[in-house]
Structures are given as C-alpha cells and as structure tokens.
Amino acid sequence: MGRSGRRIQEFKQFVVRDDACGMKVGTDALILGSWAGAVRFPDPQSPLQILDIGTGSGILALMLAQRFPQARVDAIELEPDAAAQAVQNAFESPFNERIAVHGRAFQGWEGSADLIVCNPPFFHNHPKSVDRKRNLARHDDTLPLKALFRSVKGCLSEKGEFAMVFPEDRAEELREVAQGQGFHGLACIQLRATPEHEVIRSLWSWGLQPAEELKHVWEVEGEEGQGAWSQRLAAMLAPFVSV
C-alpha cells in the first residue's frame, strides 16, 4: 500500500503522510473509512456535511471525501503536529477544496453534520508511553466516551449517522453510554484476525432515530492466510487500495 519506512501511504487517489502523528494509518481506519455512512447514506450523492473527530493524518476525511463527492468535510485534530500534517495531506489531494482541518478540541464544536466519524482514543486507565503524541492519540483523557457522545449528539442531524470503532472488551460500556445519550444502534461489524481468533474490535453505526433492527456483519481479516483480506473486506477497500 505504501512505503511504511518513510511513513508514506499511497492510495489510488491520494497520498497520506503520517510520520508526525501519534496514531499511524492502520487497518481499523481503512475499514471504518470504507464503511462509515453506508447504513443511512447508500447514495454517494449524500451526505452533504461530514465531521471527522480526531482526524490524525486525515485518512478518514480523505476516504470520505472520495466516497461522497458532494460532501464538505470538517476534520478536527487537537494535536498540533498531526493537524498540520492533515492540512498537508488534504491540500495535496484532489479533494482539497472540500476538506477543512481545524486544530482544536471537539468539545464546544458548533457545526452540524449528517455523518460523523471517529476513530477515538479508547485506552482507559492503561499504562502510558513516554511519547506525548501517542498518549494523546490512544488514551481517552481528553475525550472520554461520555463526552464524545454528548458532543456528537449536539452536532448530528436528526436523520444522521455516527460511525466509530471501539475495542470489544468495552462494548457493554459503549452501549450503555450511547443509549444513555439517546442513541440507537444501527449496525455493527465485529473484527477478528482469523476465524480462530476472538473478536478484538467492533465498528458501530449509531443514530438518533432507531433502525428496525441492529444489523450484525462479520468481517474477517486474514481469512485466506496471514496478511490476506477476506473477500468481502477486499471489495470494500478496492476503491482505495490494491488488494
């Protein structure tokens, strides 16, 4: 996909540099970027306004700008070096006129969006490294789960969708917090390395209006051997990477 030693990830329509970011481009982000919005917005001509919380290198903002060609994307990033790199990545992309990067915290954001996406910092009460950027990107000190959902509720349009990734061992806590803020589960993708492994993380789609039922979709990475994509996942990622 890219030259990882130089931290340059090459996609079909854009390039992402992430050497200045505490969180590098990874599988979770690629799956989230290829799936977010699919429940409420199967038509690529909508949504019109997208919000990416904690954009890091800007990978999700870029993927969503490619998928939804009519949308404008606001990308929020608190860490200054990552925000600057997201600005560079967006500027050098074909979507630069539709992506705005904001170097600030999410709390207090007053904009409205049809689709909100977040690959949040989800380590809670875990040991920290000496790397300040990595801690900010991975630990939830600056964006606890309750604060995330409370702020999303104030920004999400009535028929909008909030898509996120979260560790499976905190799934029950996630459901309780989301439901406590008035969100309804729309769909869930559970991720595991191979069919023999346990689920490690899940992608969730939430809305303020309920769906008829929560849709569960299982996606398996490494189904055909170490490092291989499952067939369905490969189809999801094909517009962005050669799989």
Beta strands in the chain (DSSP E): 2-3, 8-10, 15-17, 49-53, 72-77, 99-103, 113-118, 156-167, 184-192, 201-207, 215-220
Low-confidence ranges of the chain (pLDDT < 50): 1-5, 123-140, 222-226
How far is Cα 33 from Cα 22, in angstroms, rounded to an integer? 19
Q: Is 97 exposed, middle or buried (0-12, 13-18, 19+ CB in 10 A)?
A: exposed
User: Tens of pLDDT along 19-74?
Assistant: 988 888 988 899 999 999 999 999 988 999 999 999 999 999 999 999 999 999 99
Phi/psi-derived region of residue 21, left when phi > 0, alpha when psi is between -120 and 50, beta in every other case = beta
Domain range list for the chain: 2-237
At residue 138, the pLDDT reads: 42
Task: In whole angstroms, give the CA distance from residue 199 to residue 168.
Answer: 7
CA distance 181 to 159: 16
CATH code of the region 2-237: 3.40.50.150
Q: What is the pLDDT of residues 220-229, one digit of tens each?
A: 554 444 455 6
- Distance, in Å, from the CA atom of 89 to the CA atom of 240, rounded to the nearest integer, reads 15
Question: Residue 121: its pLDDT value, please?
Answer: 74
pLDDT attached to residue 51 = 98
Is the CB of residue 15 less than 8 Å from the CB of residue 21?
Answer: no
